[in-house]
Structures are given as C-alpha cells and as structure tokens.
Amino acid sequence: MNAMEASDILVVLIGVALIAGGIFQILRRYIFLQGSCTVRVHGSILESEINETQRYTDSRNRATRYIKYQYFVDGVEYVKKRSVGKRQVKGTGNDLTVFYDPSKPKRHYVSDIKFRMLLTLTLIAIGVILLYYTFSDVILL
C-alpha cells in the first residue's frame, strides 16, 4: 500500500467536506429548522438586486441575486438578506411565508424559497465519487 500524496489528501478533504456539508444542509432544513420553527408569520420582500461581477477580464459576468425580506414577531422587525437562485423563490409578488422558532424568533426559514435539494445531492455525490476514486486502489488490494 502506497502512502497518500498531498494531492490525495486534498481530494479526500474536499470529498469529506462536500459530503458533510450536504448532509448538514439537509439535516438543518428538514429536521432542525422544520422541527423548531413551528410558528407561521407573514413576511415581505423589501428589495431584490442582482450584482454582476467579472472574475477575469476575458470571462463572462457572473450574476448573483439577492433578496432582502422582513417579518415581524411581537412587534419586533427581523430583516434578512440572502442569495437566491433564478427560480428559487416560489410564487409572485412580494409576499412570503416565514416559519420561526418561538423561543428564538431570529431562527427561521422561508417556505417560499425552495431548498436546493438537487444541488445538495449533486455535491454529496461528487464527494462520494472523489472518495471512491481516491480509495478504489486501496479497496481493490
């Protein structure tokens, strides 16, 4: 059995990070947030913006979309800005449905912003593939 090279260690770390990050996002959304954020309240989009950046002079511009939204709990305003994909916000208009944790109203999720399950599962799969091909020669020995 050969010792792992630095590039192999980097690939393993990237693979483990992709798998752990993906699993964490799924658990966070479907177990933790939906389990603790049980109170529903109306929210609204305050503004949306698109920031275009160009990494290199000869590359295409990259557009990042953001929405800034608010919701109120017991007279206290909560404002959040987050990046969203092109088709990630469901519905039309400025209305949102926000679920928050009654013990910590700052903790919330917006049911009108679709969870990127396909992207998350793709990242987990890439992590698995990286680990498989890094360790496939070890497994076959």
Query: For residue 87, is it within any domain?
Result: yes
Averaged pLDDT for residues 51-65: 73
pLDDT for 9: 84
Averaged pLDDT for residues 108-127: 79
What pairing do the DSSP bridges indicate for beta strands 39-53 and 95-101? antiparallel
Domain span at residue 108 reads 7-140
Number of structural domains found in the chain: 1
Query: For residue 42, is it within any domain?
Result: yes
Q: Which residues lie below 8 Å from residue 89, measured CB to CB, with a gap of 6+?
A: 45, 67, 112, 113, 114
- H helical segments located in 1-141: 6-27, 34-36, 117-140
Query: For residue 12, is it within any domain?
Result: yes
pLDDT for 91: 64
Query: For residue 75, is it within any domain?
Result: yes
Averaged pLDDT for residues 125-131: 88
Query: For residue 2, is it within any domain?
Result: no
Query: For residue 121, is it within any domain?
Result: yes
Q: Taking a C-beta distance cutoff of 8 angstroms, is the pair 110, 43 a contact?
A: yes
Query: For residue 108, is it within any domain?
Result: yes
Query: For residue 36, is it within any domain?
Result: yes
